Amino acid sequence: MLRLLSNRFRNRKSNKSSLPRFGSRRLHGEWLERRDMLSGTPPTVTEVQVSSSEWSGSFLDYLETAGLGTDGYRIPTGSSAQTATLSWTGLDQIKIRFSEDVLIDAADLSLSGVNTTAYSFSDFHYDPQARLATWTLSAPLQKDRLRIDLDANGLNPIRDLQYNALDGEWTNGSSTVSGNGVAGGDFEFLFNVVPGDVNNNGVVMLNDYNAVNQSIGKTTADAGYLVIRDIDGSGTINVADRDLVYARMGHALPSGTPAGAFNDAPTTTHLDLIKITGVTADVVFDMEDWFDDNESGSSGLTYSLVSNSNGGLFDSATVNSSTKSLTLNAADGASGRAALTIRATDSGGLFVDTIVYVDVNYVNLKPGLEMELPNYIGDGMWIISGRVIDGDDDLSTFIVQFTGIVQTRAAADEYGNFEFAVWVDPDTWGDVWAWTVDPHVAISNVVNFDIGIT
């Protein structure tokens, strides 16, 4: 009944004489209970992309037009091209697309290498409409052999909305879609990066320099433009690209295998919000309950506090490596919210980060949800849009849940706005319910409306 369309939809004219049915906006306060039951097929990984936050719009548009990726560069699969070196500088994003909407967070991915044992991330975003998860690295990738590992076997693996675990098995150099038909199995994917290596032989040499030099002046609008020679992804091959190659002369792909090849990274649960009310004495939490590791177990991990977004809330916030505990002592009279990043590291140097949100004597503002009347554009196509309102949280973290005749989710942008297109069978109509939940686990109003053709 429901078919999701690309975010880059175009208006389509309808040849139908029937009129759309709009429901009146009705706000309800009830919570629609989620039922946990396994059904259907497990989700799979359908593509892996790399990108740079510095790539120009013209460069990204060229990739899409050339069939090389819709949100970045899609790493080729099904052949040895998967491990051909990527020649761009500034690669700081890993994008993974799934066969269906999934429940996922930043801690579900680990990235290991030869030159760098484990990579850290500064941001994460998931778009349920595009089924695309994006991890932004703390620093761009340099020359390295790399291994992606997506969690499908850990404490809280990636799951779809029916709670089937990710079907992740992958054979490098031959697989095109992950999985063996059975839920579970980590997704482990190899790729290589050597910025400036435009001929993909694993080392930056004079012939790479000459190739870029010969292409100077070519833009995405010109015949003969080659994306692999546009080293900085600006959309124009110029002297800056040639100089980037020159500065890396002699750089080579390291030998060996990524650190994660024979050692799984630790895994973590998705932690609930911690609330401290009227307490200034020590509050202690056992971190072994939050993490696990295939080789070492939770007791064999080393724990550390990586960051604290609001240190003024606490007289002390410490991790005891001996007792594997987190101890918080709230400051007298303090009120607010802190995001604590806790890291668990195994003996092989691989780690996982998880964020613990702590509210100290904090009065949360409840989120609100406003929906526009659905916009019918013809041929069973509807545009659904709305806005999340919340006075004390990052709006870009909100995901709006829809159920009823339209069963999907939508991610809000930094202003709280969301919009997507759906196809609804023109021969039917019915109710839609929408709601969202803030990071403090406060539920918004439930918006109920009708959609369909009469």
Spell out the alpha helix ranges (H) of 203-253: 206-214, 239-246
**Of the candidates 163, 189, 186, the residue with the CA atom closest to the CA atom of residue 103:** 163
pLDDT per residue as tens digits for the range 239-255? 999 999 999 999 999 99
pLDDT per residue as tens digits for the range 59-72? 999 999 999 999 89
pLDDT per residue as tens digits for the range 118-128? 999 999 999 99
Mean pLDDT in residue range 105-130: 96
Lowest mean pLDDT among 6-20, 143-157, 290-304, 373-387: 6-20
Cβ contact 187:148 at 8 Å: yes
* SS3 at position 364: coil
pLDDT score of 416:
97
351-360 and 274-276: which strand pairing? parallel
> Is pLDDT above 70 for 30?
no
Q: Say whether pTM exceeds 0.85.
A: yes
Taking the C-alpha atoms of residue 70 and residue 385, their distance in angstroms, rounded to an integer, is 23
381-389 and 408-411: which strand pairing? unpaired
* Residues with Cβ within 8 Å of residue 214, at least 6 apart in sequence: none
- The amino acid that residue 108 corresponds to is D
pLDDT score of 247:
98
Taking the C-alpha atoms of residue 153 and residue 163, their distance in angstroms, rounded to an integer, is 13
Crossing angle between the packed helical segments 239-246 and 206-214, to the nearest 10 degrees: 180
Taking the C-alpha atoms of residue 449 and residue 404, their distance in angstroms, rounded to an integer, is 10
pLDDT per residue as tens digits for the range 169-211? 999 999 999 999 999 999 999 999 999 999 999 999 999 999 9
Lowest mean pLDDT among 3-12, 99-108, 123-132, 346-355: 3-12
Mean pLDDT in residue range 399-406: 96
What values do phi and psi take at 243, rounded to 5?
-65, -35
